[in-house]
Amino acid sequence: MKPSALAWRTINAKPVRAALAVVGVTVIGALLFDMLLLSRGLLVSFRDLLDRAGYDVRVIAADSQPALRVPIPRAASLVSEISMLREVQEVALARRDRAMALITGRQPAMMTLVTVSDGADRRAWRLTRGESVGAARPPAGQAPLIVSQRMADDMGAAVGSTLRLRTTPRGGFSAVPAVTFRVVGIAEFELEPDGGPVAATTVSAFNQVQAMSGDDADVVLVASRPEFGATAAAAAIGKLRPDLRAFSNAQMVAQFNQNGFAYFRQISFVLSTITLGFAFLLIATLLSVSVNQRLHEMAALRALGFRRRRIAATLIWESAWLVGVGGLLSLPIGGLLAVELDRILRSMPAFPERLHFFVFEPVAVALHLALLAATAVGASIYPVWVAMRLPIAATLRRETLS
């Protein structure tokens, strides 16, 4: 009989113990799988968020971090200069500001007002209802406005409704009069800065809310030519304007991975290590108890001519059966648990809707199974060592006397 078949029969001889072992491995494996998804979930989700906007290079002021942007002066001339580079296919500028939305019959609410250069709206947001700000023709005295679905839900801003927006400078109140807008569409925003209400309008209406004709931008968005790539485009922009900083999406992800997401990697590493430790102790304890209860059987098998390698292979297969079944069951259970945990964590206020804490990756499945396999082998070392050193004659005599 092969070691795998003998191990399977040994497990079936104690079904209750085997079932409890599989349940324990399944629970531990599900937690381990979730920790592996958490370790890179935000990073993968953040990269996807950047790529979906259609731009692979972002230009910001040199003295700011990617998440804390300082306005770039003379942005219009900068866009013209960058567009002349051979590595660049398309350039757009984006501006945003905090504003207060005033809707009749509702309490004033804070929101984010954004605008992009002409032609960039097809990448910045995707209309789900209504018209774009460039095609809409609102009544005289009103400016066109596109709102996010969250703003439409929270403020009751449906297509055709009117509202007023007033800028809210930091550290004080604004004396600038409110500007009247008509909602012309509802869209999904790719450049949504946070999870709160967001709306978009034309450049002229944005300047009207700010009561100034600005030529600055929070960020300049660049789409590189495929034959050159984002890294080459970012390097060319850096040579053109050394006073600015150009980041490819990969560079931004790497920077956030080093600074912003280090906490989640550390938490995932610690919890994964603890989880693997519990799995190791569980399997090692079960196999050790099983070996101690079957010492006479192993001594008898050795006396009948079974080699030590075959006994060791049987114990390793026993560990593999328990961990293998539990590990496979842990994948769907861990996936369902990750979905629920992600929903709870993403309910935090002002958390971007398109970011996720838990993101499925094939590499996470492979790593999960590899770690459980290594745990199964490691947990069987001590029981195998006990079985290999088993004195045949003394064990059989002790069993006969007892």
pLDDT value for 329:
92
| Residue pair 285/24 in contact by the 8 Å Cβ criterion | no
pLDDT value for 315:
76
Alpha helices in 143-261 (DSSP H): 149-155, 203-210, 230-240, 249-258
Residue that is written with structure tokens 């995932």 in the block:
268
Quick one: pLDDT band at residue 232, thresholds 50, 70, 90? very high
Q: CA distances (Å), 42 to each of 11, 69, 99, 366, in order?
A: 41, 21, 28, 19
Torsions phi, psi of 166, nearest 5?
-130, 135
pLDDT value for 382:
79
Quick one: pLDDT band at residue 212, thresholds 50, 70, 90? low
Separation CA 276–CA 375 (nearest Å): 7
Separation CA 26–CA 32 (nearest Å): 10
What Rg, from alpha-carbon coordinates, does the chain have? Answer: 31
pLDDT value for 333:
94
Q: State pLDDT tens for residues 57-96.
A: 988 886 545 544 577 888 888 888 898 999 999 888 888 8
* Mean pLDDT score across all residues of the chain: 79
With b for 16 or more beta-carbon neighbours within 10 A and e for fewer, the 203-240 pattern comes to bebbbbbbeeeeebbbbbbbbbeeebbbbbbbbbbbeb
Quick one: pLDDT band at residue 337, thresholds 50, 70, 90? very high
Q: State pLDDT tens for residues 264-282.
A: 677 778 888 888 888 888 8
Query: Mean pLDDT lowest for which of 73-77, 142-146, 291-295?
Result: 291-295
Quick one: pLDDT band at residue 171, thresholds 50, 70, 90? very low
Q: State pLDDT tens for residues 25-58.
A: 898 889 889 888 888 887 888 788 777 777 889 8
pLDDT value for 235:
92
Averaged pLDDT for residues 205-219: 76
Query: Mean pLDDT lowest for which of 13-27, 121-135, 163-177, 314-328?
Result: 163-177
Domain boundaries, the chain: 3-49+261-401, 63-242
Higher-confidence position of 133 and 240? 240
Whether the predicted pLDDT of 332 surpasses 90: yes
pTM above 0.95? no
Averaged pLDDT for residues 167-188: 74
Quick one: pLDDT band at residue 398, thresholds 50, 70, 90? low
Q: CA distances (Å), 194 to each of 114, 125, 199, 253, 401, in order?
A: 12, 14, 12, 17, 76
User: What share of the chain has pLDDT > 90, as a percent?
Assistant: 6
| Number of Cβ atoms within 10 Å of the Cβ of 175 | 9
pLDDT value for 165:
87
Strands (E), 149-252: 162-167, 179-189, 198-200, 219-224, 244-248
pLDDT value for 1:
62
Show contacts of 128-133: CB within 8 Å, 24+ apart. 128/185, 128/186, 128/187, 128/188, 129/159, 129/185, 129/186, 130/159, 130/183, 130/184, 130/185, 130/186, 131/184, 131/185, 132/184, 132/185, 133/184, 133/185, 133/200, 133/201, 133/202, 133/205
Higher-confidence position of 184 and 49? 184
Whether the predicted pLDDT of 160 surpasses 50: yes
Torsions phi, psi of 90, nearest 5?
-150, 145
